[in-house]
Chain A
Amino acid sequence: MKISPELLFQYPWLPSLEDFYSDLSDPLDFLNKFSSKFQLNDYESRILNLFRAAFDNLEEISDFIADELNAYLYVFIKILVYILDNKRIANRIANLYSKQSYKELLDDKEDANLYDICRDLNLNVRYGDLVRFKEEYDKGQKEILETRFSIQFQDYLKLSIHLRDDNRKLCHKALINGYVYLKKREIKRLLQEYVRHKFMIKDVDDKNILEKLKQEFFKFEEFKSIYDNILNEWELKKEEFEYSVDIHFEEGKEFQGLFPPCIKEIMTKAEEGQNLTHIERLYLVFFLHALNFPNETIIDIFKGLPDFDRKKTEYQVEFAKKKGYTPHSCNTLKALNLCKAAKYDDHLCLKGYMSKKYNEQRAIKHPLFYVQYHQFKRSMMKNKQKESNKKENESNQISN
C-alpha cells in the first residue's frame, strides 16, 4: 500500500521507508546520498541531542521534527547504533525513540492514520462498528471501553509478547473470531514496543566484518565526527550510570556489590532498559525501601524502562513506602521464579553459610540477610586489614 510522505516522515520506522530509499542499495549508498543532500550543520545537533537525551534517560526528543530529514536521520541513527555495537546504548536509543513515537501516536487523533500505520506494518487490523468490550473502574468511576479497532490474535501476540504486564495477556483480552479488540491507546503501546525492537542489536559474531564496515563508514568525515562525539559523551556518562545508585544513596558507600543475585538480575534488566514484570518491580521497590534508599533514587532506576511513567512510579514508590512492605523471602522468590542463585552460581545463596551460633551450615532465607551477611564480612575484612596494618606499624616501630 502507499503511505503518505507526511506519515513516513513522522514515523520513519514504517516498512514503506524502503520504497522511499528504493534507489539505494546499501548503507554506504545511503551515506553518500545523505552527505550530498544535507550539511553537517543541518543535522549534527539533532543527532547529538537525541543521543544525549537517551543517555540522560529522558522521555522525549525535544527537537523532534517530522520533516524529510527526520526520515533520513532514522536510518543514520540506526547505522550509528549498529556500528557503536553497544547494547546499553542501543537499548537507550530504542527506549527514547519508541517513547517519542508513542507520544507522536498519542497526539495523532486520526483513526485513518493509525489504520494506515498498522496496514503498512502488515498487521491484520480491522476497523469496523464501535464495539463495547469492557467496563473498567478507576477509583469508583466507571469507564466503558469501546473500539472500532481489532487485530488478528497472531499479530497481537507477536507485538505484545515482550510486554510483561498481566493486562496484555491474551486471556485478559476480548478475543472474538480470531481478533483481539483493543483501545487505540493499547495499539499505540504495541507499536511503541515494535519501534523499540527496531533498534535492538544482536551480538555480532564476526567483529572483523563490523570493523571493516566501520572503516568504510569513517570515510565519511561527518559520520566519523558524530560517531566520535557520541562515544566521548558515552564515556563521560558511563561511570555515572554504573554508580548512580551509590551516589544518591550514601556518599562513598559501595552497595550494589552486596546485592543478592535476584536483585542484581532485576537491576541489570532495568539498566539495560528491558521490560520488568509487575512482580519484579514490586520486589525491587520493597527491597530498596528496606535499605532506606531515597525515593528519588528508586524512581531513577525505573527511568530507563520502556513504559516508564514518572507520575505513576512516584505514586507507587511512595505508596509502597507508606505501607512499609517488606521484600519477599527466598522461598517466595523461588515460588515467583525470581530466585537467580543458580544462574549467578552464587555460593552464599546455593550453599548457605556457617553459623557460629548453631555450629552448622545454614541456608539463606531472606535477601536482606544476604546484604547483612556481606556487610558483616566486609567490615570483618576491614577490621582485619586495620589490625594487620596496626601490627605492621608496630613491628616497624620496633625495628626502627
Chain B
Amino acid sequence: MSPIKFLIRTFKDYYKKNEANLREVSDFTKREFAFLPWDKSIMLRHMGFENIDTLNQYIINSAPRHVYSSGTLYKHPEIPNMEKKGYEGCDLIVDIDVDHFYTPCKDDHDGWYCKSCLKNGKGMPPACPECGSLKIKRISWICEKCLDIAKKEVQKLLFNFLIPDFGIDQNSVMIAFSGHRGYHLKVEDESLRPLSSEARREIVDYLTGENLNFELLGLRTRSGIVYGISQKNLGWARKLNNEIQLLLTQSDMAIEHFLLNLGFKKNHIKSFLNYKDTFLETFRNSELNDWSVEGFDINKWKIFLKGIAKRVGANIDEPVSIDIHRLIRYPGTLHGRTGFKVQDLSIEELEEFNPLDANNKSKDPIVFEQEGIEINLKIVEEFVPATKIKGITYGPYDQGDKIKVPKHIAVYLLCKEVAEPVSMI
C-alpha cells in the first residue's frame, strides 16, 4: 500500500465513522462544491448538492484530499460556464495564513531546497540564495507560535476593524481554523453579498492600510515644518496616531529595532530617540502636531508611517477577499496536507483555542489521535523539522530515519509527503 492509499483509507474510515457529520453552510444549494482527489492534481469543480446528506455520502464514498465550497451563491452552481452559473452574490471571505507573512519562527522550522543547484536551507527566501533559481521546493511547517500569531491577526481583524469600523454583526461572522497554517473568516451578511470586486478591493485596502495616502490623512509641510496627522481626524488617522503613541512608550531598543527595519540610518534613529519625549508631549496636547525631528523630511515621515500602518493593518491574503468566485475549505472536512480537521469556532471560543493542543475535545482539529496506536515510518525528505503537537515534540528527523510515531503524527507526516509507511517500502 502506497502512502496515498493509506491516507485514502484513513480519511475514508474517519468520514465513515463520523458519518461525515458536516455542518450545513447557509444557502447550501446555491454553493458550488469542489474536491481535490488524492491521485489527481485536477480539481473536480462545479458540483452542487441538494442537501447535506448527499454531500456527506459523497465525501464518505470518495474521501477526497481537500473539500471546498464557494463563498459565492449561484442559481446553478453545477454549471461549469461561469457566465451561465447565475451569480447571485458572494460572502466576504478573509484568509489569514502565515504562509503570506513573516513570522520569526519560520527561520527555524520552514525550509527549502533548490531544484537547480540542490542547495538547501532554512527560512523562506523568494529565490535560491546560491544560484538565484526560482525553482525551489518549500517545506512549510506548523508551529504553535505561528498559529498564535495568526490567531492574533484574526482578533485584530475582528476587534480593530470588522466590528468597530465596519459595524459587522458578530453573529454573521463564521470563523474556522483552516486545518493548516491559518484561519478563515466568512461574513454572511446579505448587504455585503452584492459588492463588486472593486468594492472588496477597497475593503481590503482599509483592512491592510496598504495604499494609504498620508497627506490625505493630514501629513503636510509648511514653511519647512512637518505637521503630522491631526489627532482630531477619525478613521485610519486615529489608528496611526494611537499606534505611534504606543510605540513611543516602548523601550529605546524596541523603537530602534522598528526604525532599523524600515531602513533608517543610525543618525536618524538617534535624533528620533532624542525627540521621543517632545513627540509624546505633542500627542498629549491635541492642538499640537508639529513633527519636526532633525533629519526627518516629509518623505522620511511617510516611510515611518508606512511602518506604523503595517503594524496596525491586518495581515490577510488579499486576493482571497477580492475574488468573488473564491472557494473556501468546507468546515468539518479534513485538510489533505495535515490530516487536521477544518474546525468551526465562535468568536468566544477563539480566545482559548490552540489548534495543536485543544482543551475542548469537540473543537479539536487533531482527529487521528488514538491511544496505543503507533505507526512505523521512514523519513524520505532531506530534513524534517520538529513538530510539537499535544505538548509533545516529534523530530527533527533526517532522511532515512526510521521512526515509530502515534497515528496523528504519522498522518501529518504522510500528508506532508516527507515520510512513507515502513512496511510498505
User: B-contacting residues of A (Cβ < 8 Å)?
Assistant: 132-137, 140, 144, 152-154, 157-158, 161, 166-167, 169-179, 181
- B213's partner among A136, A154, A166 (CB-CB below 8 A) is A166
Per DSSP, chain B at the interface is: loop
A166 and B216 within 8 A (CB): yes
Inter-chain contact B209/A140, CB cutoff 8 Å: no
B residues lining the A interface (CB < 8 Å): 164-168, 191-192, 194-196, 198-199, 202-203, 205-206, 209, 211-213, 216-218, 220, 222, 227, 230, 232-237
- The 8 Å CB contact of B234, one of A134, A154, A167, is A134
CB distance A181 to B167 under 8 Å? no
When the two chains form their complex, are residues B205 and A153 in contact, meaning their CB atoms are under 8 A apart? Answer: no
> With A and B bound together, what is the CA distance between A175 and B166 in angstroms?
7
Supply 16 A–B pairs (Cβ within 8 Å), ascending by A. A132-B232, A134-B234, A135-B218, A135-B230, A137-B227, A154-B199, A157-B199, A157-B203, A161-B198, A172-B216, A172-B236, A173-B235, A174-B233, A174-B234, A176-B235, A177-B167
Distance between Cα atoms of A129 and B392 in the complex (Å):
58
- The reply to whether B235 and A175 form a contact with Cβ atoms under 8 Å apart is yes
Whether A179 contacts B230 by the Cβ 8 Å rule is no
Q: Are A171 and B165 in contact (CB under 8 A)?
A: no
Contact status B165-A154, CB under 8 Å: no
Top-4 shortest CB links A-B: A178-B167, A174-B234, A157-B199, A177-B167
A171 close to B212 (CB less than 8 A): yes
Q: Bound state CA distance, A133 and B230, in angstroms?
A: 10
- A167 engages B216 (CB within 8 Å): yes
B286 nearest CB across to chain A (Å): 10
Q: How far is the CB of B318 from chain A (nearest CB, A)?
A: 13
Among residues of A, the one whose C-beta sits closest to the C-beta of B235 is A174
Q: When the two chains form the complex, which single residue of A134, A161, A167, A170 contacts B233, counting CB atoms closer than 8 Å?
A: A134
| Complex: chain B residue closest to A131, CB-CB | B234
Known contacts A154-B195, A158-B199, A172 near B235 by CB under 8 Å: yes
**Chain B residues whose C-beta falls within 8 Å of the C-beta of A161 in the assembled complex:** 196, 198-199, 202
Are B232 and A170 touching (Cβ within 8 A)? no
B168 partner, pick from A135, A178, A181, beta carbons under 8 A: A178
Which residue on chain A has the smallest CB distance to residue B161?
A175
Tell whether, in the assembled complex, residue A170 and residue B205 are in contact, meaning their CB atoms are under 8 Å apart: yes
Residue of A133, A169, A178 near B166 (CB, 8 A) is A178
Shortest Cβ gap from A315 to chain B (Å): 18
> Cβ of B232: which chain A residues have Cβ within 8 Å of it?
132, 134-135, 144
On whether the beta carbons of B234 and A176 are closer than 8 Å, the reply is: yes
- CB-CB under 8 A from B230, the residues of chain A are 134-135
The residue on B at minimum CB distance from A139 is B222
- Determine if A172 and B199 form an interchain contact, defined as CB atoms under 8 angstroms apart: no
B213: A residues at CB distance < 8 A:
166, 169, 172
- Identify the closest chain A residue to B309 (Cβ): A171
Residue of A nearest to B201 (CB): A161
Smallest Cβ-Cβ distance to B220: which chain A residue: A137
Note all chain B residues with C-beta closer than 8 A to A134. Answer: 218, 230, 232-234, 237
